[in-house]
Amino acid sequence: MAEVTRDHLADILEEIALLLELKGENPFKIRAYRNGAEIIRSFDGDIVARATDGELTGIKGIGEALQQKLHELAISGKLAFHQALRDEFPEGIFELLQLQGLGPKKVRALYDKLDISSLGGLRRACEAGEVGSLSGFGKKTEEKILNSIDAHERFAGYYLLADVAPDAERILSILREHPEASRVEIAGSYRRGKETLHDLDFLVATTNPNALTTFFTQIPGILEVIAQGQTKASVRLENGLQCDLRAISNSEWPFALMYFTGSKEHNVELRSRALKQGLTLNEYHLRPVEDSGRADPTPELHEEEDVYRELGLQFIDPSIRENRGEFEIAAQGEVPRLVEQENLRGTFHNHTTESDGRSTLSEMANAARELGLSYLGISDHSKSSFQANGLSEERLLKQVADIRAMNATLEDLDLYAGNEVDILRDGSLDFDNEILAQLDYVVASVHASFNLSEKEMTDRLIKAMENPHVSMLGHPSGRLLLRREAYAVNHEKIIDCASATGTVIELNCSAKRMDMDWRWWKRARDKGVICSVNPDAHHVDGFQNLHFGIRVARKGWLRREDILNCRSSQEISEWMQTPKEERV
């Protein structure tokens, strides 16, 4: 049995709620399971141990029936009640629930009225016009479902960077403990900080490769062994993620690490540059081309830096190995010093229980202090985001007063009162300027009307950015990784407007967003646009998003000086007090 975790308990409760909703059960019963899942995720203590020992009594929101189910789950990893619910529906119906915009009620209607229980069946029914004719659907819904199916199929087999990180680091740690492993690293897209990944590539230097490939296939959490040989092995984890291991010698290490880190485009250019110098480069060595008359490179090539230096290049950080200008600056010795995790001093764009967050203001402040942050900005949703319990003017002003009152009691943390204000369809804002002027900063974001043309959406964002009270543009493309495509927007014009107006653009580092995309940050940086690495934290655990945000910021060529929340407390205080037009 795989290890039972807090997330496993919560995930099962959430799926039970979903299944009960499919069945059309009592909404109060459904809500009890959803609330239970939230309590499990946010409980301050070892909830798994308490569930295992049957010691959940007294936890508000966890009644006797739920206590018994959690006890069963914690002990066995399974729950008979949950399995019985799943058995009531065909397996394929769960894939339908993953489609953007298709909730349990619609899935149940499709199942009951058209006997649809698979993606293929749903596609065929949509293409035949059968779905559009159903009550509550219509032709537009049918078109949206087809688009969702297309997106789902494009994203199949990919995983979010933050989601694979626990497995990646766990396996890395286990491999490093093996006595026959002298060097171990994760290569591929993970090392380059890509926001989504298809698989994980592990590299190990050893004199006993067979021992390592055998050991690799026996690591806990493996669903199946795909292949195993003397120097290679592939496994699939219980979450479906494929992991590959390649065992090499110490002398091959720098070449193999470069090769398997990639990207493909970077490697092609690297090999091309080697050939121009009379050298051949592959995953095993760097040698003179036969009959080139070129002398052997120095044998002291133990690290990647040595190989780059041999080719006349400054070391290129894995984050920017995408053949997007890195070779030109490396040849000139001008590779930037990229931002580091320890450069962060604070964070903005964070939510509390006042809107759709799951931690109170006090809990968020204490968590920020424990992380050693110097300042914390709170930006709950505005009134138009009714689905997120957005704040009215009265509630917002009360929250501002509460934040300032708490700030007066803190010596080691500066609290700032902001708001994530909805950008309405016409580019106006959810609060008028009189209200916005009372805030320390404003994050302006789109949360509705995604289907505008590129020009309409771009004009909408630009109008908002031109407002003197808008400090930051939130998640500029609105994308949800592996779920929803970005809406149409002209990034060049958005970046130019940010540069002209002194508007900060956020790198929203929620695992599902990573927005603005890393491919645009170098252009923004060169235009003088400032980035704020924002976790969009809805719970104290959300501050961990900052780790992945820094990885993506590095991928976007960002330096410490390019990021707002790498500034000191004094610098942030001065920035907050400086009129926007003077920040340009």
- Strand, helix or coil for residue 158: coil
Residue keyed to tokens 């915009």: 101
Position 1 scores a pLDDT of 52
Q: Compute the distance between CA of residue 45 and CA of residue 62 in angstroms, rounded to an integer.
A: 15
Closest Cα partner for 377 from 410, 349, 407, 352? 349
Q: Which amino acid is at 581?
A: E
In this structure, the number of other CB atoms found within 10 A of the CB of residue 316 comes to 19
Phi first, then psi, for residue 531 (nearest 5°) are -105, 145
Strand 279-281 to 242-248 pairing: unpaired
Q: Hey, which bits of 40-111 come out as E strands?
A: none
Task: With H, G, I as helix, E, B as strand and everything else as coil, classify residue 90.
Answer: coil
Q: Which residues pair with 537 in a beta bridge?
A: 350
Task: Report which secondary-structure segment, H or E, holds 409.
Answer: none
Q: Which residues of 133-157 are buried (b: 16+ CB within 10 A; e: fewer)?
A: ebeebeeebbebbeebbebbeebee
Domains in the chain, please, with CATH? 6-155 (1.10.150.20), 159-248 (3.30.460.10), 264-331 (3.30.210.10), 341-582 (3.20.20.140)
Give kind and range of the element (H or E) at residue 164.
helix 161-176
For 486-534, the DSSP string reads PPP--HHHHHHHHHHHT-EEEEE--TTT-BS-GGGHHHHHHTTPPEEEE
Cα of 171 vs its chain's centroid, Å: 20
Rounded distance between C-alpha atoms, residue 290 and residue 426, angstroms: 66
Predicted confidence pLDDT, tens digits, the chain (584 residues): 556 888 889 889 999 998 998 888 888 889 889 889 888 887 878 898 999 999 988 888 899 889 999 999 999 888 999 999 988 888 888 888 888 778 888 898 898 899 888 888 899 999 999 999 988 898 888 888 998 888 777 777 899 999 999 999 999 999 999 999 999 999 999 999 999 999 999 999 999 999 999 999 999 999 999 999 999 999 999 888 999 999 999 999 999 999 999 999 999 999 999 999 999 999 999 988 887 677 777 668 999 999 999 999 999 999 999 999 999 999 999 999 999 999 999 999 999 999 999 899 999 999 999 999 999 999 999 999 988 999 999 999 999 999 999 999 999 999 999 999 999 999 999 999 999 999 999 999 999 999 899 999 999 999 999 999 999 999 999 999 988 889 999 999 999 999 999 999 999 999 999 999 999 999 999 999 999 999 999 999 999 999 999 999 999 999 999 999 999 999 999 999 999 988 86
